[in-house]
Structure 1
Amino acid sequence: MAGAIGNMLESYDSAAYGYFSAVIGSNFFPSADPTASLLCAFAVFAAAFFMRPIGGAVFGYVGDCYGRKAALVLSTGLMTVSTFAMGCLPTYETAGLLAPALLVLLRLGQGLSVGGENTSSAIYLTETAAHGRRGLTSSLACVGAIGGILAGSLLGAIVTSLLPFDDVRAWGWRLPFLVSVILGAAIFMLRRYMDERPLDGAPTRPLGRSPQPSPLRTAFSDDGPAMVRAFAMSVAVGGSFYVVFVYLPTYMHGVLGLAQGTALFINSTAMAVYMVCVPAMGALSDHVGRKPVLIATSAGLVLLSWPLFLLFARADAVSILTGQIAFAVLIAGYCTAIPVALVEMFKARSRCTALAISFNCSMALVGGTAPLAATWIVHGLHLPSGPGRYVALLSLVSLTAVLGMKDRSGTPLTLR
């Protein structure tokens, strides 16, 4: 629980920001054109992702030098403070340009934290898993992440359903960020007492002693080609996940005309399906291997993403729910098998650094910009089904990288 639950806070914040992006845009980037405000809000969302590689390098160093636990505790503290402060920000109306400046600063702090959180937790869970159950155990990180998005989605649906729009715009959007301090405090306390077993190259080193050479130098010298492959394999994660589960509720409301509460309910239902599929897919990857699961699901995204967006164009709730559930199954399979497959690719002595940099660079380039790109494709290029083609193209890049990977799911993690 301690290893997996930190992803819940990170994804909860991303979900809350994504679901209230239109309101945040109007409060911090007022404009006569609602699309312009929305683009600005998604640009700030993307800016946080560009801090992830820096966070990956910082927390990767901490994880490789002083242990996975130290990296996880520090990332939790930074994320909790940044997310709670989001709910306390003044708006443009009351603070002028200071308001968007503070918003950007806090999002950068969150991005720095996430850069160490998601990869460190995946490594911790994989390294301490029983042999033959690494896929199932590491899938708990995905369950935690989905739990955060589901919590953010449900709270967003409750807020928008119970409050008039004027109240949501004035103060209701703050509630999800303020509530996050409870979750952050619980995670911090769990991680203070978590057990870090010295398994598979994850020894706890005394504070002040760093390995020589540095993990960063070792990562590039020992695992440079693997880092490039990991980057390409991660492209589908960012493209599919953030288009389907962060951008799509805005798309359903603003483009397809569904009520915001209905859009969030559909998204929450799809997320629940995703959460059920995650451990099943993790166990499946233990049974048949990571590579078959990754090939099947990435190929499914290549072939079906565009048709599913054409299904969304019918603009009725049943068709949209059906399409999003289909997306949820495919993305669950790919996103569950990817973390453990990447952990198995890298050598133990620089695993945190190598994985954090390669994965987070991919998330910065593709994941953070996915809602922004999808908004521009729909409103700038006037292609309502264009995001589906975008997801298919990114998935093709990852499928190509997966085809050339070596499947190490049946081999033990060693002190390579």
Structure 2
Amino acid sequence: MVRIILSCMIGNALEWYAFVIFGFFAPTISQLFFPGSSETVGLIKAFALFGMAFIARPLGAIIFGHIGDKFSRKNALLLSIFVMAIPTVLIGCLPTYESVGVLAPVLLSILLVAQGFAIGGEFTGSMVFMIESAQPHQRGLIGSWATFSCVFGVILGSLVSLMCTTVYSPEEILAGAWRIPFVLTLAGTLVGTYIRKNVAEPKTYLDHKAERKSHAFPLKELFTEHSRSIVSVVLIDFITAIGFFLLVIFLPTYLQSPVYLGLDADYAMKINTFNMVIFALTTLVGGALSDRYGRKTVFMYVAGILLIGGYPIFQLFHVNWEFGPLVAQFILAVHIGLFFGVIPAGLSEIFPSHLRFTGLSVSHNISMALFGGSAPLLATGLIELTHDLAAPGILLMVAAVFCLMGMPLYEDKYKVKTI
């Protein structure tokens, strides 16, 4: 079980590490790839490219989901970690606008799309692998290690970014030091590949695979017989899509950009790193609570808090109090962490084994494509439109409404022994 958890954690950690370093260095990337734009417009362009990558996620979900359901969970995850790592490393090798002109942002967009394609199967595939390998009474806790690993990747990205800003001056970062965190992805990929090669397929999957007809087509059956489950996952996952990406991608920029809070970069990263540790720990708490009290209970609690408090929490960032930003992000980290920890078991259990990889991957990535990748862009654009620095809180409230709409469609299976 430990080997299985580690094998899945490494791929997820690399995935979110890549997201975080992009978020941290978005101001630098906007200067290098979109020169001549104002800081706000440059950030909007950088976040727009980031959002573009999510368009490819549903396609990746279909391809990797089909491989995982029809042929091998393990091989799907081995393939996804390679396809994800290559474009991440190449981003660190890209020429800038000054060197190749408009080709620079074009190449960046292509690599981000390739990265999004691979991620379409990585995170959800690892969730399925863990859930199917866990004991029935521990599916919530074991599954939460998948989300914990995402946050571990976030923490790792935060620490590497912090080291870069500590070791290198702003001028040196702009001159090329920003590339280092992207290239370092290669080391983690080699370790992850080695561990994944030495794990066995989940017994649950093998048992059902032996019973499955060779001509079965998971995607067709998914949409013809499980459309209710797809809608349920998409609606519930809105909090993941909006909340996670505001917390992990948008807030590091929000804290340090002079357009928003304008905190010292070093101080902003310390705040963010501390709260990412809190975020990681609460994912495990959320998974454990869902084993005891049910997935739906935790989902509804967090949705209710965000519905009432989404906007006030973002107002707290701007109160005349030294610790306002720290406390505001802390509140978000705790509640989004609780919610995020329930996602692996709560959403995996919805689908039958023979199309679980496809069902979860496609449903989750529809939600991510609609609002996950665009969350930082929506937040930036909403502030620009309303001239209200607390406006991103409205997005959290809207996400909570969608999640609560999905609750009547959701069947909680936390007490079911065999999935």
TM-score bucket (shorter structure): over 0.9
Superposition TM-score, scaled by structure 1 size: 0.96
**Pick aligned residue for 1:327 from 327, 332, 353:** 332
1:102 CA drift (Å): 1.1
Matches of 2:67 and 2:400, distance apart in 1: 32
Partner of residue 416, structure 2: 411
Matches of 2:191 and 2:213, distance apart in 1: 30
Cα–Cα, structure 1 residues 317 and 223, in superposed 2: closer, same or farther, change >3 Å? farther
Matches of 1:59 and 1:106, distance apart in 2: 18
SS of match in other structure, 1:132: helix
**Pick aligned residue for 1:89 from 91, 94, 101:** 94
Amino acid aligned to 1:246 = I
Q: Does 1:221 align with 2:227?
A: no
- Structure 1 unaligned regions, length at least 5: none
Q: How does 1:53-202 map to 2 (within 5 A)?
A: 53-200=58-205
1:377 CA drift (Å): 1.1
Q: Does 1:371 align with 2:408?
A: no
* Preserved CA contact (<8 Å) 2:299 2:339: yes
Amino acid aligned to 1:214 = F
Higher deviation after alignment, 82-91 or 314-323: 314-323
**Pick aligned residue for 1:236 from 218, 234, 239:** 239
* Preserved CA contact (<8 Å) 2:283 2:342: no
Q: Does 1:40 align with 2:45?
A: yes
SS of match in other structure, 2:226: helix
CA deviations over 1:205-239 (Å, ceiling 9, x no partner): 7xxx9832311101112211110111111111010
Moved over 3 A (4+): 200-205
**Pick aligned residue for 2:292 from 287, 291, 307:** 287
Cα–Cα, structure 1 residues 100 and 244, in superposed 2: closer, same or farther, change >3 Å? same
Cα–Cα, structure 1 residues 171 and 226, in superposed 2: closer, same or farther, change >3 Å? same
CA deviations over 1:232-266 (Å, ceiling 9, x no partner): 11111010111122101111112111011211111
Matches of 2:80 and 2:209, distance apart in 1: 17
**Pick aligned residue for 2:343 from 331, 338, 350:** 338
1:400 CA drift (Å): 2.1
Q: Does 1:23 align with 2:28?
A: yes
Partner of residue 307, structure 1: 312
Matches of 1:87 and 1:317, distance apart in 2: 36
**Pick aligned residue for 2:355 from 350, 354, 366:** 350
| Cα RMSD, aligned residues only | 1.5
Superposition TM-score, scaled by structure 2 size: 0.95
Amino acid aligned to 1:229 = S
* Preserved CA contact (<8 Å) 1:67 1:204: no
SS of match in other structure, 2:35: coil
Matches of 2:392 and 2:58, distance apart in 1: 25
Matches of 1:323 and 1:187, distance apart in 2: 35
Matches of 1:308 and 1:58, distance apart in 2: 39
* Preserved CA contact (<8 Å) 1:223 1:347: no
Matches of 1:107 and 1:91, distance apart in 2: 15
Amino acid aligned to 1:359 = H
Partner of residue 3, structure 2: none
SS of match in other structure, 2:136: coil
Amino acid aligned to 2:58 = P
- Structure 2 unaligned regions, length at least 5: 1-5
Cα–Cα, structure 1 residues 350 and 92, in superposed 2: closer, same or farther, change >3 Å? same
* Preserved CA contact (<8 Å) 2:148 2:341: no
Amino acid aligned to 1:10 = E
Matches of 1:24 and 1:316, distance apart in 2: 31
1:57 CA drift (Å): 0.4
1:204 CA drift (Å): 6.3
Matches of 1:48 and 1:309, distance apart in 2: 27
Matches of 1:101 and 1:202, distance apart in 2: 46
Matches of 1:201 and 1:20, distance apart in 2: 43
Number of paired residues? Answer: 411
